[in-house]
Amino acid sequence: MDLIFLFIASAVINNYVLTYFLGICPFIGVSRQLDTATSMGLAVIFVMTLTAAFTWPINHLVLAPYGLPFLKYVTFILVIAALVQLVEMFIRKTSQPLYLALGIYLPLITTNCAILGLALFMDLREYSFVQSLVFAIGAGLGFTIALVIMAGIREELAFARVPRALDGPGITLIVAGLLALAFMGFAGLGGTG
Amino acid sequence: MPRQPVPLRQEFLKGLWDENPTLVQVLGMCPTLAVTNSIVNGFAMAMATGFVLICSNVVVSLVRKLIPNQVRMGAYMIIIAAFVTIADMVLAAQYPDISRALGPYVPLIVVNCIILGRAEAFASKNGVGRSLLDALGNSCGFLVSLLVLGTVRELIGTGGLFGHVFWGETVHPWLVMILPAGAFLTLGSAMGLINHLVARREAA
């Protein structure tokens, strides 16, 4: 039951993009078209789950017992970079169409704050291994939801008359603000994550 | 760039306004939005980021000829992560309250695009002195934008500054401004305002 709450909380209540401001760069950069936004979202869910599965054991079985917590950030970022590289190589070998669809977005995930944020939140809130996995999938799904909604709005926005000064990132941020207001409605569901 | 050296002053000033990292180049959005719910948080964040930016820019510039081209990104990331660890530990030891308020956003400086961007675009191609000035300019630009956003949001969201309430009950504070939604709205409006000013200056 707790896991379900954790999942819902990390997906919508504490939405990664709209509440924690993690992954704003792709949120603004990759939200122009619906299909690229969806691919990006799926790639992020995938990498997030892997990150949780790898950083948790490293943190709890290697860094903590040997008293090396000051190496945490360096380790996390290296693990993420290595993982993204491996995933990229694996996808290229197994599925050429998927590789082409994801294109440049896959390597860019390395510097996506959402992934490092995930590893940090896992550590900060002392989640167990299973909780971490659920949290990762939920957070990735939340990121995807926000990205896809935004892409849908921006596809329509392309035909709207936007004040010249706000054109580009300005109007995107204001739309994101309105979305964040809407997502505040989920806060009543309770739970933290 | 070596052919026609840019005046040193310009190296500093460009980060402050023309190439302001957040308001013009739209980099480093997460800290800009996340920690500007009060002036104090914004200031602390800008200081931590500035420290990491200046140190990593100088170090990257120092070792730029030693790092093989293929692994430079990884090397930059490790240099940055090392300085972030220092900043995080100093903050946690000296100012535990601020450290708690900023939470995971201090370690997240590692993936702040401003720092990696300056390392890749500037420090890896320029000498130590210029890299230092560039980092100083960008840090100041970042500080200015965080302070502006922090001031606006705290003033409207709580009706006061630094925890002092100015208007009391007469003006009801607009709570949304210190919540996440307010961050997006404020930054979006600030960008619109800057675009408007730039467009007007060019037209004149």
DSSP output for B65-102: TTS-GGGHHHHHHHHHHHHHHHHHHHHHHH-HHHHHHH
Centroid of chain to Cα A41 = 7
A100 part of a folded domain: yes
pLDDT of residue B1: 44
A19 part of a folded domain: no
Question: Which among B113, B189, B199 is the nearest to A111, CB-wise?
Answer: B113
Give the C-alpha separation, B50 to A178, whole Å: 31
Chain B residues whose beta carbon lies within 8 Å of the beta carbon of residue A74: 78, 81-82, 85
| Helix (H) / strand (E) containing B161 | strand B160-161
Among A17, A24, A55, pick the best mutation site for testing chain B contact (most B Cβ within 10 A): A24
Residue ranges of chain A whose pLDDT lies below 50: 191-193
Identify the closest residue of chain A to B177 by CA–CA distance.
A177
A159 part of a folded domain: yes
Exposure letters B53-64 (e unless 16+ CB within 10 A, then b):
bbbbbbbbbeeb
> Which B-chain residues 107-126 have CB contacts (< 8 A) with chain A?
107-108, 110-113, 116
Identify the closest residue of chain A to B197 by CA–CA distance.
A165
Report helix, strand or coil for A135. helix
- A140: distance to nearest CA of chain B, Å? 17
Each residue of B34-70: pLDDT tens digit? 888 888 888 898 999 999 999 999 999 999 888 888 7
Point out the least confidently predicted range of A46-60, B7-21, B41-55, B174-188: B7-21
pLDDT at position B201 over 50: yes
Among A48, A77, A80, A167, pick the best mutation site for testing chain B contact (most B Cβ within 10 A): A77
pLDDT of residue B118: 86
Q: How many domains does chain A have?
A: 1
Give the C-alpha separation, A79 to A87, whole Å: 12
pLDDT of residue B55: 94
pLDDT of residue A193: 43
Identify the domain containing residue A153 by its residue range: 38-179
Among B22, B111, B197, pick the best mutation site for testing chain A contact (most A Cβ within 10 A): B111
Chain B residues whose beta carbon lies within 8 Å of the beta carbon of residue A167: 195
Average pLDDT for chain B: 84
The ipTM estimated for the assembled molecules is: 0.79
pLDDT at position B145 over 70: yes
Centroid of chain to Cα A143 = 5
Identify the closest residue of chain B to A185 by CA–CA distance.
B181
A77–B185 CB contact, under 8 Å: no
Identify the closest residue of chain A to B186 by CA–CA distance.
A174
A8 part of a folded domain: no
A22 part of a folded domain: no
Asked if A159 has any chain B CB less than 8 Å from its own CB, the reply is: no
B111–A172 CB contact, under 8 Å: no
What is the Rg, in whole angstroms, of the alpha carbon atoms belonging to chain A?
A: 17
Angstrom CA distances, B116 to A70, B104, B153, B178, B184, stand at 21, 19, 28, 29, 24
Number of helices (H), then strands (E), belonging to chain A: the values are: 9, 0
Question: Which among A74, A117, A164 is the nearest to B81, CB-wise?
Answer: A74
Beta bridge partners of B32: none
A186 part of a folded domain: no
